[in-house]
Amino acid sequence: MTKPQIRAGNILDTIGSLYNSLTPSSKRIADYVTANPEQISTFSIAELSQEVNAGDATIIRFCRTLGFNGYQDFKLMLAVEVSNAKTVEPSILDTDVTPEDSPEMIGKKLQSSIDHVLSETLNLLNFAELDAAAELAKNANAIYFFGVGSSGITAESAKYKFMRIGLNVDAYTNNHFMYIKASLLKPGDIAIGISHSGDSTETTKALKLAKDNGATTIAITHNPRSAITKYADKVLVNGNRQGQLQGDSIGTKISQLFVLDLMYTLLVQRDISGTFDIKLKTTEAISQQ
């Protein structure tokens, strides 16, 4: 299995994606770094150790989890990130709605939240993995999307989109149907499991069944160390930055669909004239009465 690239262009985004996989002591470090990123550049490792009640060795392991050689390397890159972030208007970064917000301000906050989740997804994605996944999809006998709940809606949307360019695709959102179909897959087929947390027992089981039967497996998740990634040949990480304004799913769905749209576009790019003709044919088919 190809391991996901842990170190991303945005340190705070990477911390967010790995957070649920961290140890309790590493979570304390992550919480402090996320809340006080500007202060870290002024702290020695001993000072940070005192603030987060964790030993120097724990802090170094935390930094290495993010892909850095050690604390100094981590501190330097975080300082650069914080400096770059200061160019963004801070008032709009707070996406939580307040009683004083006008409808226009709520709209701007929602727009900002969506912009952030897309930027975070670009920071977290391993583009070599994405390109390889598109190549696999291009040559697949069939592609099956698996997902439940909100991720099931994403799976159905992907089925429609990929079908429009002539691919042999289907989507399953019921766990029993997922298990039956996954157990019948074979080499040359692709199973794409969509789970934001990466811990959906239904989707994880479906991906495991597909892999056990020789299919190529792809996971789309926010957590590159979650359960579903154990059975994925390729892991594509989507963003998750969202405030209370967004509820449980809008940022998640947008980031998942963004990853799938990137894969779709790479497929179209590989055969622009062919996919254009197919999409024109399918468009004419559904527009004729």
Q: What is the pLDDT of residue 55?
A: 93
DSSP 46-72: HHHHHHHT--HHHHHHHHHHTT-SSHH
48 pLDDT more than 50? yes
User: Residue 190: phi, psi to the nearest 5?
Assistant: -125, 135
Average pLDDT in the 11-33 region?
A: 91
Q: Using CA of residue 269, residue 272, residue 276, residue 278, what is the dihedral sign? A: negative
For residue 270 the two structure tokens come to 């590989």
Q: CB of 11 within 8 A of CB of 74? A: yes
State the CATH architecture for 8-87.
Orthogonal Bundle (1.10)
Q: CB of 255 within 8 A of CB of 239? A: yes
8 pLDDT more than 50? no
**Percentage of residues in the chain having pLDDT higher than 70:** 89
At 148, the amino acid letter reads: V
DSSP 97-155: --TT--HHHHHHHHHHHHHHHHHHHHHH--HHHHHHHHHHHHT-SEEEEE--THHHHHH
Q: What is the pLDDT of residue 131?
A: 97
80 pLDDT more than 90? no
Range of lowest pLDDT (85-89, 160-164, 265-269, 274-278)? 85-89
Nearest one of 1, 270, 17 to 122, comparing CA atoms:
17
Rounded to 5°, the CA angle 129-131-134 comes to 110
Distance between CA 137 and CA 217 in Å, rounded? Answer: 11
| 3-class secondary-structure state, position 41 | coil
| Domain boundary assignment for the chain | 8-87, 124-287
**Percentage of residues in the chain having pLDDT higher than 90:** 59
| Model confidence pLDDT, tens digit, residues 200-259 | 999 999 999 999 999 999 999 999 999 999 999 999 999 886 554 444 557 888 999 999
Q: CB of 268 within 8 A of CB of 165? A: yes
CA 215, distance to chain mean position in Å, is: 22
pLDDT band at 82; cut points 50, 70, 90: confident
Distance between CA 260 and CA 132 in Å, rounded? Answer: 13
Distance between CA 242 and CA 2 in Å, rounded? Answer: 29
Distance between CA 149 and CA 159 in Å, rounded? Answer: 16
Q: What is the pLDDT of residue 43?
A: 92
Distance between CA 259 and CA 246 in Å, rounded? Answer: 19
At 182, the amino acid letter reads: A
Q: What is the pLDDT of residue 92?
A: 38
Q: What is the pLDDT of residue 89?
A: 43
The pTM for the full model equals 0.81
90 pLDDT more than 50? no
Going edge to edge, which strands form the sheet with 216-221?
A: 169-172, 142-146, 189-194, 216-221, 234-237
For 124-287, which CATH class? Answer: alpha beta
Average pLDDT in the 100-113 region?
A: 83
114 pLDDT more than 90? no
| Model confidence pLDDT, tens digit, residues 142-159 | 999 999 998 999 999 999
At 28, the amino acid letter reads: R
96 pLDDT more than 90? no
Distance between CA 287 and CA 289 in Å, rounded? Answer: 6
Average pLDDT in the 193-201 region?
A: 94
Average pLDDT, the chain: 87
